[in-house]
Amino acid sequence: MLAEDIRNSGIDVADLNQLKCDLNRLQPVDVGDYITQLPTQQRAIAFRLLNKNQATDVFEYLPPEVQEELINSLHDLQVVQIVETMSPDDRAELFDELPAKVVKRLLQELSPEQRQATATILGYPEGTAGRVMTTEYVRLRQGLTVGAALSKMRLQDRDKESIYYAYVTDDNRKLVSVVSLRQLLFTFPDVLIGDIASDRVVKVRTETPQEEVAHLMQRYDLIALPVVDREERLVGIITIDDVVDILQEEATEDIQKLAGVGDGDEAALSPPLVTIKKRLPWLLGIMFLYIGASSAIAPFQSTIAMVPVLAVIMPLFSNTGGTVGIQALTVTIRGLGVGEVTPKDTLKILRKELMAGMGTALTLGLTMICLSLIWAPPQERWVSLVAGCVMATNTLVAVTLGTLLPMGLKRLKLDPALMSGPLVTTMLDAIGFMIFLTLISTALHIFQLKS
């Protein structure tokens, strides 16, 4: 079948031996990238050139759609072999993406042990520690000696994903302490595990959110973190490579949501339809919300006809005020995102923002006055003064909203990044225009009464 496929695909057979040699020598992730960029009909051929270990490793790095395609075009036996040797967390991720029918068939063909491991992981909700953990870890019983522990690991733990920490449990599988492979290696073989293991174990529950897992591992510089169930029984571990990916994803989400990209997970090379789906709803939402801001201006059309310099000043005013708000919003959201601050710090941050905001308000207000004098004809110079005062006020409103809105969402256990930048600028425009135009109209009215 391979030979026939190769004839049909037009690949030069003489090069195949060289290719096979290369593909088995390269890093799995690089081979994964190579296979992904091949035309569809050549992917399965290239994949079948891999030897057994390399095939499993490469498979884990392929994007879900290519994985599914390969599952459909490879021999069943080979598919089962690969899926059986995948690590349980990667397998769970794969099953998440595949059609239910395929998953059911594959589950039936797995060994009972691996089937159980996958079912356990898939039983936890997405985004929790239970879902990203692997069930392959090194467990030692209390009372073993260092030498016996090392022998046990040599015999039984050869294929475990991470062997750099071993977790010590009691007779009920309760997690008691942790010992590093380094400690085992540097201690005499007849010392008891209990004498060197540390009971300062940083651990999480299966239901702990994955961001919290990531922050804990970062804080304590861990390369693996044990996961326990409600009865404190060890059920899995989370490894640092998964956490690095989680941290990247979370940062991408924060940054994109702030910009008004739905879900915050658009890739630069997403297809156009995905791009439209993620961005357009926000844009339309913001346009409709902006009816509020525009309606704040509409009643003042006669004022604007009388003082047309307002149309020159208002956009400057709105652009600057919006930027002030987004700055405060971004610093607050990122502070929450990296775990620097919590809603408890709201008042502390607000105080700091307002103190800094006063300096900013003064400077921006004065600049506003100077700049608007450029465009105002002599009889409309008084407008500059009003613009400066409103600019200063709006600055203080902007930093307040930029701080309080995300903190409020976080306190309500919602995602603070839902408060996107465009939402804040829209609110600020509505408030700012309203104040500004009301003041100008009132002033005009008073002038008219006087004259």
- Which of positions 200-229 make contact with a copy of itself (CB under 8 A)? 200, 202, 217-221, 223
In whole angstroms, the minimum distance from the beta carbon of 370 to a copy of itself comes to: 10
Confirm or reject binding of residue 382 to a copy of itself (CB under 8 A): no
Pick out residues in 168-207 that bind a copy of itself (CB under 8 A): 181-182, 185-186, 200, 202
Question: For residues 80 and 191, which CB has a smaller minimum distance to a copy of itself in the complex?
Answer: 191
State the CB neighbour count (10 A cutoff) for residue 56: 19
CA–CA gap between residue 41 and residue 8 (Å, rounded): 9
Nearer to a copy of itself, 158 or 413 (CB): 158
Is position 290 an interface residue for a copy of itself (rule: CB under 8 A)? yes
Q: Is 425 in the site for a copy of itself (CB under 8 A)?
A: yes
Residue 64 CA to residue 112 CA, distance in Å, equals: 25
Stretch (H or E) spanning 402: helix 382-411
192: three-class secondary structure by DSSP: strand
- Closer CB to a copy of itself, 44 or 427, in the complex: 427
Distance CA 360, CA 59 (A): 54
Whether the Cβ atoms of residue 258 and residue 421 lie closer than 8 Å to each other: yes
Stretch that binds a copy of itself, among 42-50, 95-103, 169-177, 247-255 (CB under 8 A): 247-255
Give yes or no for a contact between 75 and 109, defined as CB atoms under 8 angstroms apart.
Answer: no
Identify which of 29, 38, 86, 87 has the alpha carbon closest to the alpha carbon of residue 58: 29
Tokens encoding 119? 């079912």
- Cα separation, 53 vs 28, whole angstroms: 10
Q: Which 85-114 residues touch a copy of itself, going by CB under 8 A?
A: none
Give the β-pairing of 175-180 and 224-228.
unpaired
Count of chain residues binding a copy of itself (CB under 8 A):
117
CA dist 398 and 379 (Å) reads: 31
**Of the two residues 110 and 314, which places its CB atom closer to a copy of itself in the complex?**
314
Could you tell me which of 200, 197, 213 has the C-alpha nearest to residue 131?
213
Residue number, 352 or 411, with CB nearest to a copy of itself: 352
Residue closer to a copy of itself, measured from CB, 2 or 305: 305
Please, what is the minimum distance in Å from the beta carbon of residue 230 to a copy of itself? 24
> Which residues in the 14-33 window bind a copy of itself by CB under 8 A?
25-27, 29
> Binding of a copy of itself at residue 369 (CB under 8 A)?
no
CB of residue 72 to a copy of itself, shortest distance in Å: 27
* Interaction residues for a copy of itself, span 45-74 (CB under 8 A): none
CA 210, CA 246: separation in Å to the nearest integer? 7
Distance (Å, whole) CA 33 – CA 27:
10
Question: Using the rule CB under 8 A, is 268 a contact of a copy of itself?
Answer: yes
Least spacing, CB of residue 220 vs a copy of itself, in Å: 6
444 binds a copy of itself, rule: CB under 8 A: no
CA–CA dist 146, 170 (Å, integer):
17
Query: By CB under 8 A, which span of 35-43, 117-125, 351-359, 441-449 interacts with a copy of itself?
Result: 351-359
